Structure 1
Amino acid sequence: MIYLNYNNLDAETQERLLTKSKDDIKSKFGEDLKAFSEQHQLDFEEVLYEEAVKNLYNYKYKFNI
């Protein structure tokens, strides 16, 4: 069994996982992030991106070869 982290994955896989992470964060915390970004006058997409990247490191990647 091989254990990898996000940095060990190819660019296409990283992009796919980032998109999935953004959707996950948006569905769970979208309203809270939108309110936070408006309150602090931040770009919502940038806040979403930062939270999605943080979320990626919570995933466990497991590949069977």
Structure 2
Amino acid sequence: MSQPDAHRFKSNAGECRQMAHDAETEDAREAWLRLAVEWDKLAEHARHRRGIFDRYE
């Protein structure tokens, strides 16, 4: 994974949060927020992996 991946994952998390804001039901809102959290985790993982590889370049 790369820095562009991390940015894309963060963007996806933001889109999920917007969908949560616009959701018509509490269940839908909670589902979108759970997805946002997972995208945030992926973004953090991508940033962390990139940092590991940067040490060896």
Per the shorter chain, which TM-score range? 0.3 to 0.5
The structure richer in strand per residue is: 1
Q: TM (normalized to structure 2)?
A: 0.37
The structure richer in helix per residue is: 2
Q: TM (normalized to structure 1)?
A: 0.34
